[in-house]
């Protein structure tokens, strides 16, 4: 633990983002890029000798980060030792320290009756300092087994599996259908929340460790799994859950209704390829934008639309506004379902003068003009009684919109790869494999991450990537 009485002496203080006024003018990271080490030492001191550290339990961190240990080390100014403990369980803390919603903080014991320890800030500071001080170096693999593994998909699950299998001495090749490595990290999360230079820095380290990356190859279409099996001893599918949930209402075909991930991908690719000089048609500039669905992806769409110069931005949510504090049926250490203001909400409020979110709204139909272009949509208010959704008569409303972004989550992976490999699916359409086993119905083909468990967090993808690496290693040794 940190200081015995630290949680009594010091208040929670999180690190500030760059000011809204400055950051909405560019696509640089929302973080300041600097860390107040004196404050972080105090925050580490707030970590309690709580007996059972729920922060690294099943309700907390999925990769069981040794949080109390590196909090104590930071408090005692032992940053390099803290980095060693952090990297023992987390392959990519520079990713999770930026984008993870921090379930560890939701289950922090101090959080029962006080603000939780600022675990996420400390995690990001440790890894950032590690890079600044040159402590992060390519791994050295002394022995090679001669076994070769192909990993299909370069998101966090695939990258974690690749790193672990490479450390074990196996030859690893990662296949990615896009033109850049990173999967969801690269194109699903905008640059202001996760700088792509941060991803490239890690990928270059992995290359220096001996991992091979092949882009612009869509396994299951450009090359068959059967062909890969001739060259590799095992295959690992980590393709993510990319089949987005649609909204099948009237005039869904209106020009101007897009999936959120398509919008985010096009914008990030335009930024990286040309610095937005290509003037993509899929832009919010001068448009009334409506984002349907909340969550991190919805927030990312809001922040992107603000930066593109939207005329207005509104965010529809089907559910009611969450309470400010935990409700009785949402006790600690469960994830607190409370009202939060994320970076995109704060930016929209600063630009347009109010929180962009509108609750208990259901979209009934889109409106298009004679040319098929989106001009608006119709909604009705709803309420929930005993879990049943009811439309409120007389609450119909028409909204102006020239761009609608559907951010309602994902239902499953795309199925052309599973069809090609002839692997079984579960009842939700995911690649069927038991957690902690990861073996599909085809011998030698494994799967992990969102394509196996369904849409989830980056930290869960890392958990499964590490887990599948162990099972593949056991398979190759048998």
pLDDT tens per residue, range 289-309: 999 999 999 999 999 999 999
Cα separation, 245 vs 260, whole angstroms: 10
Looking at residue 1, its pLDDT comes to 65
Report angle CA 454, 447, 100 to the nearest 5 degrees. Answer: 50
- Nearest by Cα to 461 from 78, 155, 88, 257: 155
pLDDT > 90? residue 407:
yes
Q: Are 27 and 347 in contact (CB under 8 A)?
A: no
pLDDT tens per residue, range 180-201: 999 999 999 999 999 999 999 9
Q: Are 69 and 126 in contact (CB under 8 A)?
A: no
Q: Are 15 and 36 in contact (CB under 8 A)?
A: yes
Q: Are 220 and 193 in contact (CB under 8 A)?
A: no
Strand duo 361-368 + 388-391: pairing? unpaired
What is the number of alpha carbons within 13 Å of residue 78 lying toward its C-beta?
Answer: 12
- Tell how far CA 310 is from the center of its chain: 25
pLDDT > 80? residue 280:
no
Q: Are 391 and 370 in contact (CB under 8 A)?
A: no
CA–CA distance from 238 to each of 13, 409, 413, 430, 446 (Å)? 37, 18, 10, 11, 9
Looking at residue 119, its pLDDT comes to 97
- Nearest by Cα to 472 from 75, 200, 150, 39: 150
Q: What pTM was estimated for this model as a whole? A: 0.96
Cα separation, 422 vs 440, whole angstroms: 10
| Helix H or strand E segment including 300 | helix 295-308
Identify the three-state secondary structure at position 245: coil
Q: Are 95 and 20 in contact (CB under 8 A)?
A: no
Looking at residue 386, its pLDDT comes to 86
Looking at residue 49, its pLDDT comes to 82
Radius of gyration (C-alpha) of the chain in whole angstroms: 23
* Residues in CB range of 352: below 8 A, 6 or more apart: 312, 313
Looking at residue 58, its pLDDT comes to 80
At what angle are helices 119-132 and 67-75 packed, to 10 degrees? 60
- Nearest by Cα to 210 from 238, 263, 168, 253: 168
Looking at residue 228, its pLDDT comes to 98
Q: Residue 34 class from Cβ within 10 Å (0-12 exposed, 13-18 middle, 19+ buried)? A: exposed
- Nearest by Cα to 241 from 298, 199, 190, 183: 183
Looking at residue 284, its pLDDT comes to 96
Q: Are 361 and 316 in contact (CB under 8 A)?
A: yes
What's the whole-number mean pLDDT along residues 15-38?
A: 96
Cα separation, 358 vs 317, whole angstroms: 6
Q: Which of 15-29, 142-156, 277-291 has the lowest mean pLDDT?
A: 277-291
- For the chain, the average pLDDT equals 96
What's the whole-number mean pLDDT along residues 55-73?
A: 93
- Strands of the sheet containing 288-292, edge to edge, are 257-259, 403-406, 288-292, 312-317, 357-359
Q: What is the DSSP track for 187-201?
A: IIS-TTTS-HHHHHH
Structure tokens at 234: 């095992």
Q: Residue 163 class from Cβ within 10 Å (0-12 exposed, 13-18 middle, 19+ buried)? A: buried
What's the whole-number mean pLDDT along residues 265-281?
A: 88
Beta bridge mates, 285: 310
Domains assigned to the chain:
6-132 (1.10.1060.10), 148-242+411-477 (3.50.50.60), 246-408 (3.50.50.60)
State the CB neighbour count (10 A cutoff) for residue 62: 21
Percent of the chain clearing pLDDT 70 (strictly above): 100
Looking at residue 281, its pLDDT comes to 74
pLDDT tens per residue, range 322-366: 999 999 999 999 999 999 999 999 999 999 999 999 999 999 999
């Amino acid at each position: 633990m940190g200081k015995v009485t630290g949680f009594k002496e010091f208040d929670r203080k999180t690190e500030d983002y760059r000011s809204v006024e400055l950051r909405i003018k560019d696509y640089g990271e929302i973080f300041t890029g600097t860390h107040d080490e004196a404050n972080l030492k105090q925050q580490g001191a707030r970590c309690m000798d709580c007996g059972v550290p729920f922060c690294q339990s099943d309700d907390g961190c999925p990769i069981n980060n040794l949080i109390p240990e590196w909090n104590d080390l930071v408090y005692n100014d032992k940053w390099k030792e803290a980095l060693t403990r952090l990297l023992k369980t987390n392959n990519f803390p520079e990713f999770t320290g930026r984008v993870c919603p921090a379930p560890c903080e939701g289950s922090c014991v101090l959080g029962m009756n006080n603000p939780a320890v600022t675990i996420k800030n400390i995690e990001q500071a440790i890894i950032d300092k590690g890079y600044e001080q040159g402590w992060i170096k390519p791994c050295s693999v002394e022995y090679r087994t001669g076994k070769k593994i192909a990993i299909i998909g370069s998101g966090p699950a695939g990258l974690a599996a690749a790193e672990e299998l490479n450390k074990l001495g196996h030859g690893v090749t990662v296949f990615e259908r896009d033109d850049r490595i990173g999967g969801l990290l690269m194109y699903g999360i905008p640059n202001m929340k996760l700088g792509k230079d941060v991803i490239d820095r890690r990928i270059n380290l992995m290359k220096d460790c001996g991992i091979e990356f092949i882009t612009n190859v869509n396994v299951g279409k450009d090359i068959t799994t059967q062909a890969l099996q001739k060259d590799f001893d095992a295959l690992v599918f980590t393709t993510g859950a990319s089949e987005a949930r649609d909204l099948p209402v009237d005039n869904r075909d209106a020009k101007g209704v897009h999936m959120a991930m398509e919008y985010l991908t096009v914008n990030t690719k335009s930024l990286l390829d040309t610095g937005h000089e290509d003037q993509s048609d899929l832009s919010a500039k001068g448009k009334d934008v409506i984002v349907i669905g909340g969550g991190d992806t919805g927030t990312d769409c809001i922040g992107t639309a603000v930066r593109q110069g939207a005329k207005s931005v509104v965010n529809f949510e089907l559910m009611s506004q969450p309470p400010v504090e935990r409700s009785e049926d949402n006790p600690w250490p469960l994830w607190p379902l409370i009202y939060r203001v994320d970076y995109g909400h704060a930016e929209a409020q600063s630009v347009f003068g109010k929180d962009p979110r509108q609750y208990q709204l259901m979209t009934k139909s889109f409106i298009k003009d004679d040319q098929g272009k989106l001009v608006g949509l119709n909604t009705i208010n709803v309420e929930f009684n005993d879990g049943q959704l009811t439309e409120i008569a007389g609450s119909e409303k028409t909204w102006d919109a020239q761009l609608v972004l559907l951010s309602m989550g994902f239902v499953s992976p795309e199925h052309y790869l599973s069809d090609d490999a002839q692997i079984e699916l579960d009842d939700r359409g995911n690649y069927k494999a038991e957690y902690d086993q990861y073996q599909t119905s085809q011998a030698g083909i494994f799967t992990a991450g969102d394509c196996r468990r369904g849409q989830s967090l980056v930290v869960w993808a890392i958990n499964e990537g590490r887990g599948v690496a162990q099972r593949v290693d056991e398979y190759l040794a048998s």
